Amino acid sequence: MMAGLITIASIAVGQNMISVVFGIIFWFMVLIPARKITKSDPLMRPVFFASLHFKQKYFPPHSHVLANNQLNYKAVMTKSGMKY
């Protein structure tokens, strides 16, 4: 969809033959690989949208597994085990 929007916008803004040719070339450069990706894994679309739903907005940095991150996480890994 984004490729179509870029194509239409470039044709509408440019309004000359060069922008029309560029838009058509860009459209096919995006469309052909997108179709190949869709044929190789048709279930990727629902998985991708599910990953967007569960995506963490910010991943706070930490130095290692045993770091004390009590402010950022519910559970902390210690030498004796998980601390909740």
Q: Where are the domains of the chain?
A: 2-59
What's the pLDDT at 5?
79
Phi, then psi, of 73 in degrees rounded to 5: -130, 155
- How does pLDDT run across 66-83, given as a tens digit for each residue? 655 555 555 566 777 666
Q: Quickly tell me which residue has 């679309």 as its tokens.
A: 45
Higher pLDDT, 8 or 79: 8
Mean pLDDT of 46-67: 72
Distance CA 33, CA 39 (A): 10
What is the C-alpha radius of gyration for the chain, rounded to an integer number of angstroms?
23
Tell me the pLDDT tens digit for each residue of 19-43: 888 888 888 888 888 888 888 888 8
